[in-house]
Chains A and B, each alone.
Chain A
């Protein structure tokens, strides 16, 4: 570990890689693992059973791994796992999971989380996402790879923000945001939150083949030109035999329709979400299974 003279409090049983940098006024709790080349600049607090991978940059005042803001949480040993090469702006907070929600909060790789973002208990943020300033994810939210969430947007419990979708600034997300769409609006009669066109930057970033992109654009146009009779339109597209991203879009929308108030993950209430099964260490999975 570099520079042993700085004032900081690292618990003796924390596992901090020799190549990691822990700046002044940082506090690292006993159950924490920090990978090589991760930089905790200053005043960062990491507690709980938290694993931070390699080459992350974590700025001033971030608080990672504290107990969930859930009144049902009673102190079980749930986890927060952060992957590699993420950048956290100042004052980002992320909490460990809850027992009822599967026991894992996970942030994947190569994400950019700007100032004051909050990742609540049992959220899953996949890879290459951008979360703007003060973006609030409530519990059990899934942000899929490549999604962009603008400043001051907030996501309701159990919502999913689809791949390469965009959420506009100050937008309340109360239902699932389909992949590759631009979802924006405010609580106002003139511009309620809704799908408003294609997220062009996302479309570029996904680097689809021209044929796949054309099919996806056609499907997006059919589904969201006006959002009536979505079920019928999904069935029509599926019967036409759409493939690739267009098929994935249909499946996403179908799931959302099955869910509660357009939120597919509501159906996972009280269950172990598939992401937790994929990323949790085996001992915790068996622990949760035995409790359930």
Chain B
């Protein structure tokens, strides 16, 4: 039996795995599905067509699945496993596409994630990060405080976004991005090392970044990009970077 506080409200049709814990004054809506080992702390709200995978921890006062400004509409929100949703976080439910959160993410206090946004796996989203509707955050991304990610923007994997940075358009993978308008400042080498990238890979990425974003760091140099794409023996990660930058060539790179 789930362990439900006498002061929690859990709607009859909500589906809770056997060992879910729900704290006092929490509200679990009728279409919520909570996987094994989920902990919903006091005052948290889960509404809409919302699914939480196993071992998600929702901290006090977080709100998951509500549709902003659309009373009566039911949004969709899908969370994977082992996510930590900290105090006062808002994960909006999506109406057209569901809001998706992958696995093993830490979403810190006061973050707001808009309807239809998508966050990959193993991301660390720091306090007060604003991820707008339809934005895409790939795997292993880190953000710092007060980061703003515009509607429909995309942040590539392993990228770190510094504090107070605004991303409109696309942030490349493997990068450190900072400022508003955002600039590529270098390679997120510490994260890559922690994720098991070899020294050769990191060196190759650093050299590629230096050539591509030399100068202002606002946009990849199209000539260098074309030359690199033509090179036969390119590091696998650099190849990936080049392909992503070429695919996104229509918009701003950061």
Instruction: List the interface of chain A (C-beta within 8 A of B).
Output: 7, 9, 25, 27, 43, 45, 61, 63, 66, 69, 71, 91, 93, 116, 118, 134, 136, 138, 152, 154, 156, 170, 172, 186-188
- Is the CB–CB distance between B164 and A187 below 8 Å? yes
Q: What's the nearest-Cβ distance from chain B to residue A39, in Å?
A: 18
Q: How far is the CA of A82 from the CA of B163 in the complex (A)?
A: 28
List B contacts of A188 (CB < 8 A): 179-180
- Is the CB–CB distance between B180 and A66 below 8 Å? no
Q: Which of B60, B106, B180 contacts A45 (CB 8 A)?
A: B60
Query: What is the size category of the interface that chain B forms with chain A?
Result: 20 to 34
- Is the CB–CB distance between A172 and B163 below 8 Å? yes
Q: Binding site of A, secondary structure by majority: helix, strand, loop or mixed?
A: loop
Q: Binding site of B, secondary structure by majority: helix, strand, loop or mixed?
A: loop
- Is the CB–CB distance between B59 and A187 below 8 Å? no
List A contacts of B41 (CB < 8 A): 45
- Is the CB–CB distance between A116 and B60 below 8 Å? no
Q: Which of B60, B146, B165 contacts A63 (CB 8 A)?
A: B60
Residues B1-56 near A (CB distance < 8 A): 5, 7, 23-25, 41-43
Instruction: Give how many A-B residue pairs fall within 8 Å (CB-CB).
Output: 78
Question: B205 on the interface (CB 8 Å rule)?
Answer: no
Closest 5 CB pairs of A and B: A9-B24, A27-B42, A154-B145, A45-B60, A63-B87
Q: How far is the CA of A281 from the CA of B128 in the complex (A)?
A: 33
Residues B163-204 near A (CB distance < 8 A): 163-165, 178-180
Closest to B23 in A: A27
Question: B76 on the interface (CB 8 Å rule)?
Answer: no
7 contacts between A and B (CB under 8 A): A25-B43, A27-B42, A61-B43, A66-B59, A69-B127, A136-B127, A187-B162
Q: What's the nearest-Cβ distance from chain B to residue A116, in Å?
A: 6
List A contacts of B146 (CB < 8 A): 136, 152, 154
A sample of 17 more A-B contacts (CB under 8 A), given A63-B88, A136-B145, A156-B163, is A9-B7, A27-B24, A45-B60, A45-B61, A61-B43, A63-B60, A69-B108, A69-B127, A71-B106, A91-B61, A93-B87, A93-B88, A134-B110, A136-B127, A154-B145, A154-B146, A170-B164
- Is the CB–CB distance between A118 and B25 below 8 Å? no
Question: B86 on the interface (CB 8 Å rule)?
Answer: yes
Q: How far is the CA of A94 from the CA of B35 in the complex (A)?
A: 29
Question: B79 on the interface (CB 8 Å rule)?
Answer: no
Q: What's the nearest-Cβ distance from chain B to residue A15, in Å?
A: 19
Q: Which of A63, A134, A136 contacts B59 (CB 8 A)?
A: A63
- Is the CB–CB distance between A63 and B61 below 8 Å? yes
Q: How far is the CA of A63 from the CA of B23 in the complex (A)?
A: 14
- Is the CB–CB distance between B42 and A138 below 8 Å? no
List B contacts of A136 (CB < 8 A): 127-128, 145-146
Q: How far is the CA of A136 from the CA of B165 in the complex (A)?
A: 15
Q: How far is the CA of A69 from the CA of B43 in the complex (A)?
A: 19
- Is the CB–CB distance between A7 and B88 below 8 Å? no
- Is the CB–CB distance between B164 and A116 below 8 Å? no
- Is the CB–CB distance between A154 and B163 below 8 Å? yes
Q: How far is the CA of A43 from the CA of B110 in the complex (A)?
A: 17
